[in-house]
Chain A
């Protein structure tokens, strides 16, 4: 399809090895280079670059208002970058609409849960498998066997995705009647059912208890065998335990990028966190201690 992956200045040496090994098919690496976004004169992001390698968990952290969510929205096409390029599977993504992401193998979870309240858990996950649906309008209108078998296939897929996250028994329930952690698992199942190659997780641990967060960490680690993960998260202990690499944003610019050990030792990161308000100081304390019991 596209040209072979070109080594780029931002990519580390390990990444280079991996891309050459997988050069047979376009590698599912997301590369954002020189992204700048301004909202009416206020700079939200300036010249931000970030690479998510396939099979890696990449953490994106920073104090409140650093631009994490904006960068996420740029990756999804919800916010358009004023300048900079995004490359996915070795091809540039231009004028991307959010609804095109799924077909490209990119899935995203929303902050909070964002489930469809009027759909059962199973139906919610079936919507996630939308891009695998084959039966069209006519067969649905006439209730042709083709529509039924398509529905069976989607249902099977969705049930399997729910089973993976141990939420199968809630299939017939409506999201509103379920505890928050279960809803979050369902939302994750909805993102995973389409077998994405890149998963964008927006604060998956918010509202979870300590042990649930631990479970989530293990889950994210296991997902990285199948896909790249970009993780925005406030809980430092989770970020530090699951991420391969971490990018730190502050005031719309990258102030540090590297492995978790490098980030923890970086004085610029500590300074950025300590320079902020009370809430963030708490995060910084967590960052240094490496453990924290903060609950959102």
Chain B
């Protein structure tokens, strides 16, 4: 009985009012007995960022250059997937055009870096984000009137059509061969810092992996803020029941466009990181396959969850490698082992759809919710 009251008061009152719940912030997820988290969303999320940053440094410093470059690949997939999971998972809009939006970011980055005196990298990234967000606003305005398969069709047209622009404007965009991207060198302080920290040499690959990791952390920090705020809640409401949302005073079109713009901005940054990591922006890198890979990543990981987007991207990057290694170890020759990867990926996808249709994070969350609902019912009937 008192438990029930406390649960209610945690939400109703500031903690100071009740000594029993003093440690519990207003967040609905925390109750007494849990680790006390800062009440401010900003502090809580900054804390998470710091922990993840430490983990990223440990990960990058304890792995070889090849793994470093794989991790750099992971960062740009995860950045774009994070944006897509906000759009598809939170706002319910599907996009098959995010590969093309990444292309916009990548080409913008390539063009800005090809200048004789290139602007600082953060400024170039910002430019890529802004340009892609603008494209996203245009696409989003059209998309906000479409649903389901029609939206998929429209964004599919984007995925198929946009890379063709590179062929049309051969002079500036490099045609089929693509645009060589001059990745900026690591600054001196970076080398010094790495040397004093671990004694490892600071390679160019490592620098790019760090750039990707920083971009990833900043993106996920900002996205997490949005998801936890009224913005994320409004997106989810629009996704669940548009008529009811509209009656609550939500202008559906604007909120859908906003989701598309935020999502496109992430795709733009993902494309920008891709450009400097791969050192090339070419149409062949931004085919429909890329868009589909991003979608499968967020569905596998769990729609609407940043952690899910990260896990899905990790599967995307590491699963082929792991299966190829396993195949070689089992005595297959090189080609056969490489052919194993898409097969295993397909099997994982089918298995996920059958056994965990809500994705990895989603399934765990559903289990947890079911448990909690059971407890709540038990508490009510046991009263």
Q: Hey, which chain B residues are within 8 Å of A140, CB to CB?
A: 225-226, 229-231
> How distant is the Cα of A172 from the Cα of B379 in the complex, in angstroms?
14
A142 proximal to B (CB < 8 A): yes
Given A159-B12, A171-B11, A171-B28, A190-B41 contact (CB < 8 Å): no
A152 proximal to B (CB < 8 A): yes
Asked if residues A128 and B11 are in contact (CB atoms below 8 Å), the reply is no
Q: Interface majority SS on B: helix, strand, loop or mixed?
A: helix
Give min CB distance, A99 to chain B, whole Å: 5
Give min CB distance, B244 to chain A, whole Å: 4
The stretch among A114-122, A252-260, A273-281 that forms the contact with chain B is A114-122
A58 proximal to B (CB < 8 A): no
Given A114-B244, A169-B8, A194-B249, A154-B225 contact (CB < 8 Å): no
Our pick among B234, B236, B240, B241 for the contact of A130 (Cβ within 8 Å) is B234
Asked if residues B237 and A151 are in contact (CB atoms below 8 Å), the reply is no
> How distant is the Cα of A141 from the Cα of B241 in the complex, in angstroms?
24
B353 proximal to A (CB < 8 A): no
Contact digits for B249-270, partner A, Cβ 8 Å, 1 yes 0 no:
1111000001000000000000
> How distant is the Cα of A130 from the Cα of B237 in the complex, in angstroms?
11
Our pick among A118, A137, A142, A172 for the contact of B42 (Cβ within 8 Å) is A142
Asked if residues B40 and A122 are in contact (CB atoms below 8 Å), the reply is no
Q: Hey, which chain A residues are within 8 Å of B249, CB to CB?
A: 99-103, 130-131, 194
Contact digits for B141-162, partner A, Cβ 8 Å, 1 yes 0 no:
0000000000000000000000
Q: Which of A94-121 contact B (CB under 8 A)?
A: 97-103, 107-108, 110, 114-120
A19 proximal to B (CB < 8 A): no
Given A143-B42, A169-B8, A110-B233 contact (CB < 8 Å): no
Our pick among B4, B7, B40, B226 for the contact of A141 (Cβ within 8 Å) is B226
Q: Which of B11-54 contact A (CB under 8 A)?
A: 11-12, 14, 26, 28, 39-42, 45
Give min CB distance, A197 to chain B, whole Å: 14
Our pick among A114, A119, A141 for the contact of B236 (Cβ within 8 Å) is A119
> How distant is the Cα of A171 from the Cα of B28 in the complex, in angstroms?
9
Give min CB distance, B148 to chain A, whole Å: 17
Contact digits for B218-239, partner A, Cβ 8 Å, 1 yes 0 no:
0000100110111101101101
Closest to B249 in A: A102
> How distant is the Cα of A143 from the Cα of B28 in the complex, in angstroms?
17
B243 proximal to A (CB < 8 A): yes
Give min CB distance, B62 to chain A, whole Å: 31
Q: Hey, which chain A residues are within 8 Å of B123, CB to CB?
A: none
Given A140-B231, A142-B225, A174-B373, A155-B11 contact (CB < 8 Å): yes
Give min CB distance, A221 to chain B, whole Å: 24
Contact digits for A137-171, partner B, Cβ 8 Å, 1 yes 0 no:
10011111101101110111001000100001101
Give min CB distance, A64 to chain B, whole Å: 21
Give min CB distance, A267 to chain B, whole Å: 38
Q: Hey, which chain A residues are within 8 Å of B248, CB to CB?
A: 102, 127-128, 130-131, 190, 194
Asked if residues A135 and B247 are in contact (CB atoms below 8 Å), the reply is no
Given A120-B28, A145-B40, A147-B41, A137-B231 contact (CB < 8 Å): yes
Given A114-B244, A128-B248, A151-B11 contact (CB < 8 Å): no
Asked if residues B42 and A144 are in contact (CB atoms below 8 Å), the reply is yes
> How distant is the Cα of A194 from the Cα of B233 in the complex, in angstroms?
17
Q: Which of B344-383 contact A (CB under 8 A)?
A: 369, 372-373, 376
B246 proximal to A (CB < 8 A): yes
> How distant is the Cα of A90 from the Cα of B139 in the complex, in angstroms?
41
From B4, B45, B241, B258, name the one whose CB has the most chain A CB atoms within 10 angstroms.
B241
B245 proximal to A (CB < 8 A): yes
Asked if residues B369 and A156 are in contact (CB atoms below 8 Å), the reply is no
Our pick among B4, B228, B236 for the contact of A118 (Cβ within 8 Å) is B236
Our pick among A100, A110, A117 for the contact of B240 (Cβ within 8 Å) is A117
Asked if residues A118 and B41 are in contact (CB atoms below 8 Å), the reply is no
Our pick among B41, B240, B258 for the contact of A143 (Cβ within 8 Å) is B41
Give min CB distance, B16 to chain A, whole Å: 13
> How distant is the Cα of A102 from the Cα of B230 in the complex, in angstroms?
17
Give min CB distance, B326 to chain A, whole Å: 38
Given A130-B249, A172-B7, A119-B258 contact (CB < 8 Å): no
From B225, B226, B237, name the one whose CB has the most chain A CB atoms within 10 angstroms.
B237
Give min CB distance, B229 to chain A, whole Å: 4
Q: Hey, which chain B residues are within 8 Å of A124, CB to CB?
A: 237
Contact digits for A243-280, partner B, Cβ 8 Å, 1 yes 0 no:
00000000000000000000000000000000000000
> How distant is the Cα of A172 from the Cα of B26 in the complex, in angstroms?
12
From B233, B243, B245, name the one whose CB has the most chain A CB atoms within 10 angstroms.
B233
Asked if residues A147 and B11 are in contact (CB atoms below 8 Å), the reply is no
Q: Given A140-B231, A159-B8, A194-B249, list of 14 further CB < 8 A pairs?
A: A115-B244, A116-B244, A119-B236, A123-B236, A128-B248, A130-B234, A131-B248, A131-B249, A135-B229, A140-B226, A140-B229, A141-B231, A172-B11, A177-B373
15 A-B residue pairings within 8 Å (CB atoms): A76-B247, A107-B247, A119-B237, A119-B240, A123-B236, A126-B233, A127-B237, A127-B248, A133-B230, A143-B45, A143-B228, A148-B39, A155-B26, A172-B372, A173-B373
